[in-house]
Amino acid sequence: MSNNGQLQLPKSLLPIIFLVIIGIIFISKSTVNIDAGEAGVLWKRFGGGVVTNQPPLGEGFHLVAPWNTVTIYNVRQQELFEKMKVLSSNGLDILLEVSAWYQPNYNELGKLHKERGEQYKENVLMPALRSAARSVVGRYTPEQLYASKRDVIQLEIFDETKAILDDQFVQLNQVLVRDVTLPPTIKNAIETKLKYEQESLEYKFRIEKAQKEAKRQVIEAQGKADANRILSASLTDKILRDKGIDATIQLSNSSNSKVIVIGSGKSGLPIILGNQ
């Protein structure tokens, strides 16, 4: 301890303290923590720059030389939402809302960082999506886009965008067409046309149904007429007389009436009288 009451460290400890401080600074500059869903691209100051011939640094704790740097990327699936004006095949403005699900190609993350940079979404993905959307929509009329072709153009935009991105180190997972907005006058005209077409189809269905019902009734009436004709041809006088006798016998056996036979009718059948 010095004469003025202050604590003085031995001079032999000063180098040790200095080395400890340097070590702490060195370690703090050399540690990299990569969270879940992320990956790191290593840049070596004295080793050729961006490392592209090795996989990126994965999740967890890493030690790197303090003169090197690590750029961290989100490698999870992400969404890009785009609202753009495109032209239909007949030159009308169409407002298209599209979403793209994408993620960087994990195994080529070093190349993506070196050749496209951290702004690859703005510099690569968005231009590719816009170009594909304009190319695809330009092949269809507003009526096709509005009525029946949304699933088709969605698949075509995906295919064309993916073809552009295949050598851009970006993986495209899906393209979704969320909305197609037409000019109000065009939309109203299409809706009116579709309404008339629906009414026409309904009217045609009713006519066909009435025609089938009329045909069924004709067939049914023809069948009844044929049956009556066959039955009439088969009823001879003898058959009618026998049936009349059977009916007379059944009537005479009835407990609800008294039967008196007083003679016979012109057909040869007895005349039945009762008190009922």
At 70-96, the pLDDT tens digits run 999 999 999 999 999 888 888 888 889
Mean pLDDT of 251-267: 56
Q: Give which of 7, 103, 112, 96 is closest to 56, Cα–Cα.
A: 112
Phi/psi at 181 (nearest 5 deg)? -110, 120
Decide: 94 and 122 in contact? Cβ < 8 Å. no
pTM equals 0.61
Residue the block writes with tokens 């149904």:
209
Task: Convert the pLDDT of each residue in 161-214 to its tens digit.
Answer: 999 998 999 999 999 998 888 876 665 665 566 655 666 666 677 777 778 877
Mean pLDDT of 36-48: 90
